[in-house]
Amino acid sequence: MMDAGRHPNIELLAYSEVEDVSGYVGNFKVRVRKKARYVDENECTACGECVKVCPIVRPDEFQQGLSTRRAIYIPFPQAVPSAYLVDIEACLGDNPIACGKCIEVCDKKCIDFDMRDEIVELEVGAIIVATGMDVYDPTALDEYGYTRFENVITSLEFERLISAGGPTGGHFVRLTDGQTPRRIGFVQCVGSRTNNPARGNPYCSNICCMNTVKDSLLLKDHYPDIDITVFYMDIRAFGKGFEELFMRSKAAGVRYVRGLPGEVVEDPQTRNLKVYVENTTAGRIEEHELDMLVLSIGAIPRHDSDLTKQLLTLSRTPDGFFMEAHPKLKPVDATTKGVFLAGCAESPKDVKDSVTQASAAAARAGTLLSKSKIRVEAITAVVDADKCKKCGRCASVCPYSAIRWEKKQVAEIITAACAGCGTCAAECPFDAIEMRHFSDQAIFAQIDAALERDPLNTIVTFACNWCSYAGADTAGTGRMEYPPNARIIRTMCSGRVATDFVWYAFRKGAPVVLVSGCHYADCHYISANRNTVRRVDALWEGLEKHGVRPERLQLEWCSAAEGQRWAKIMRQVEELRAGVTAEEVERTIEVLREAKVPVSSKVWKLKEPTPATLRCLHCGHEWQEDYSMEKAQNEERMCAKCRSNSVRVLI
């Protein structure tokens, strides 16, 4: 951090927070509130005279509340800039000045209670999110006695106690009597690897096991005679040199007991702890008497990550950490272009992995900024200004805020920010938005092709490119058996599936329609699949209103890795399809035709005859003919050359 502070091309805004982010890749505008320190950081020499006279005492957050600080303080020893700041909420010298002792003793006269917050406007081309993580609060796990028993501490509190810069100067002592403990225990996976939300999170926090191994060796180095017991489920030592470190710990005399304590009891006289645990390796209940118990707490997403997500329009995985654009191909890119992830903002990781990811994020940002132009994928949206009715519905559903719209103004697509999910095109009721390479015409043509032969035995399936379509591919490469009669229509996102597509599939004789995408809380396009749920809910109501069984429209979530789940979904949908009779399909076609269910694509909304090119799929013969939706419904086309009925309309 000191090197960063001294670098001529790096500006550090310490004690500041981001209030707003607007713009898009290459053209971000960031508003930062630089909080008033009430101390001139350029003049302060960190002499510490002000601290000596400050009468206000507060718990020191950096030392986990194990020691105190004054109202004027340096947040932590390696802070940059190395200058004091005033906790104005605790200080007595603001308004009115009831103390002012620090001002009197400051020779540099750098304390100024008239300072106010400063707003800094920045224009940047790329943003790296390295917001870190928080740690799990084990208070809810009452069986461990944290906060009830003073000698039960967390691994973070342990780090401060054993640190040379900690409250005890590196001398590890019990909090109750200040004596060096002779018997100490560590409990692993506190707040991690549990399916009970009240007891923690289902994921592994990555750092806990090796942190305990390191701590045990550190204790053995300082106090060779100390007795250490580690209670664990599994020791996960997967990194380079980690297994060797684990074996060194065991060789040093650290005892590992496979099992987590079920109860911790304190002796009121000696303040020692009795730990009851089932040793699953030995198959017995054991009682361990300890002087101190350390809870290895897991990592959790930062509590203020909601604000970061909102400012940068980021996606989050079900565990609450930020989602990368692709776990293998773009591991440091966020789902928003121009935003990159580093460290524990993306997932729990140790220092080595955090540094590696930070270097990769810096390299990706540098690559982006070195170019005068950026390349975007050719799947973005385009607005037809003549058809746009200026309603703004597209802007309201865009997860990337890539659509500029003001009242009585035509919507405008910011191509650099558009990710091509297609949610806006599906939402537009006036067909004013076209998706490059995933146009309405192309999707309707695929529906036609899917239902051209034997439609009664066909499952029309709309699959998201990133998850369910990839899940189907996983099932195929894994040679998993499932019914082969699904005809998959790939869309970039399930949010691209317009209601017209589903109505048209049923009007063409589809017995079952399946819409599938990313898991609800795991959308590649941030929140686009929430629009999928809204549209499918409306479709279910519409089907029921028209006397069509709503279950003939299925909505399922499947990730790219869930090939087994995809096979299961297809078997279930096939069972449903087998129960749909030809009479039911014909009745559905007739009911929807009589009800004049709207199909408003650029092709199928044509009411007046329009010149079109027709092609015979059998012999390839093409000819010109006036075409309309009514004519297509009431007439059977036939190729004049080969007399085949396999005719496709090209507009």
**For strand 647-650 and strand 610-616, is the pairing parallel, antiparallel, or unpaired?**
antiparallel
Tell whether 42 is covered by a domain: no
Q: Which residue has the higher pLDDT, 644 or 233?
A: 233
- In whole angstroms, give the CA distance from residue 331 to residue 104: 54
Residue 487 φ then ψ, to 5°? -110, 105
Same domain, 165 and 216: yes
Question: Across 349-358, 399-408, 599-608, which has the greatest mean pLDDT?
Answer: 349-358
User: What own/partner pairs with CB < 8 Å and gap ≥ 24 does 396-400 have?
Assistant: 396/427, 397/423, 397/424, 397/427, 397/495, 397/528, 397/531, 398/423, 398/424, 399/313, 399/423, 399/523, 399/525, 399/526, 399/527, 399/528, 400/313, 400/336, 400/525, 400/526
Of 263, 289, 265, 290, which Cα lies nearest the Cα of 277?
263
Strands (E), 237-300: 255-258, 261-266, 273-279, 284-290, 292-297, 299-300
> Out of 298-302, 357-361, 636-640, which region has the weakest mean confidence (pLDDT)?
636-640
- Does the pLDDT of residue 42 top 70, yes or no? yes
- Residues 283, 394, single domain; the answer is no
Q: What is the arithmetic mean of pLDDT over 42-60?
A: 93
Q: Which is nearest to 342 in space by CA: 369, 316, 364, 317?
A: 364
Per-residue pLDDT of 140-171, as tens digits, reads 999 999 999 999 999 999 999 999 999 999 89
CA dist 529 to 83, 426, 436, Å?
Answer: 48, 12, 20
Residue carrying the six token digits 């590992």: 256
Cβ burial, residue 121 (10 Å; 0-12/13-18/19+): exposed
- Identify whether residues 427 and 495 lie together within a single domain: no
Residues 250 and 163 in one domain: yes
CA distance 339 to 520: 23
pLDDT of 345 over the 90 cut: yes
| SS3 state of residue 406 | coil
Give the pLDDT score at 261. Answer: 95
Decide if 204 contacts 235 (C-beta within 8 A). Answer: no
Does 587 reside within a domain?
yes
Q: How many other CB atoms are there within 10 angstroms of residue 306's CB atom?
A: 12
420 and 521 within one domain: no
CB atoms within 10 A of CB 503: 22
> 620 pLDDT exceeds 80?
no
Residues 406, 497: one domain?
no
Q: Which two tokens stand for residue 433?
A: 């938005």
- Whichever domain contains 571, its CATH number is 3.40.50
Q: Verify that 262 and 286 share a domain, yes or no.
A: yes
pLDDT at 102 over 70: yes
Task: Show which of 392, 408, 435 is a domain's final residue.
Answer: 435
Q: Name the domain count of the chain.
A: 4
* Tokens describing residue 383: 């607005």
Are 589 and 617 within one domain?
Answer: no
Among 316-330, 340-354, 449-463, 571-585, the minimum mean pLDDT is found in 316-330
DSSP 456: G
CA gap 477, 134 in Å, rounded: 39
Residues 189/233, Cβ–Cβ less than 8 Å: yes
Q: Closest by alpha carbon to 312, among 556, 7, 89, 23?
A: 23
Question: Can you give the pLDDT at residue 540?
Answer: 94
Which residue among 300, 320, 350 closes a domain? 300
The whole-number pLDDT of residue 344 equals: 96
Of 336, 334, 316, the closest CA to residue 25 belongs to 336
Is residue 581 one of the residues assigned to a domain? yes
What's the longest Cα–Cα distance across the chain?
103
Angstrom distance (rounded) from CA 516 to CA 469: 8
pLDDT at 376 > cutoff 90: no
- Please say which residue of 549, 568, 595 terminates a domain: 595
521 closest CA partner among 467, 565, 573? 467
For residue 9, is pLDDT > 70? yes
Band of pLDDT at residue 184, cut at 50, 70 and 90: very high
Dump pLDDT digits (tens) for 258-302: 999 999 999 999 999 999 999 999 999 999 999 999 999 999 999
Mean pLDDT of the 565-592 span: 94
Q: What is the CATH number of the domain that holds 413?
A: 3.30.70.20
CB atoms within 10 A of CB 240: 7
Q: Tell me: do 452 and 425 sit in the same domain.
A: no
Task: Answer whether residue 372 is part of any domain.
Answer: no
Is 343 in contact with 354 (CB distance < 8 Å)? yes
% of the chain exceeding 70 in pLDDT? 93
Specify if 367 maps to a domain.
no
Place of tokens 């032969």: 453
Mean of the pLDDT values across residues 45-74?
94
In a domain, residue 318? The reply is no
Tokens 């132009």 sit at which residue? Answer: 373
**Residue 579, domain extent:** 440-595
Percent over 90 (pLDDT), the chain: 72
Residue 234 belongs to domain with CATH number:
3.50.50.60
Sign, CA dihedral 251-257-260-264, equals: negative
Average pLDDT value for the chain:
89
- 146 part of a folded domain: yes
Q: Are 416 and 473 contained in the same domain?
A: no
- Average pLDDT rounded to a whole number, residues 132-146: 94
Given a cut of 60, whether residue 602 has pLDDT beyond it is: no
Query: Which has the minimum average pLDDT: 87-101, 220-234, 335-349?
Result: 87-101
Q: Does residue 282 share a domain with residue 410?
A: no
* Strand arrangement, sheet containing 647-650: 622-627, 610-616, 647-650
| Mean pLDDT (whole number) for 117-142 | 95
169 domain-assigned: yes
Report the CATH number at residue 615: 2.20.28.10
What letter does residue 504 receive in the DSSP assignment? H
**386-416 pLDDT tens trace:** 999 999 999 999 998 899 998 888 999 999 8
Q: Which two tokens stand for residue 650?
A: 């090209």
Instruction: Based on the fold, state whether residues 583 and 637 are members of the same structural domain.
Output: no
Residue 60 · residue 69 · CB < 8 Å? yes
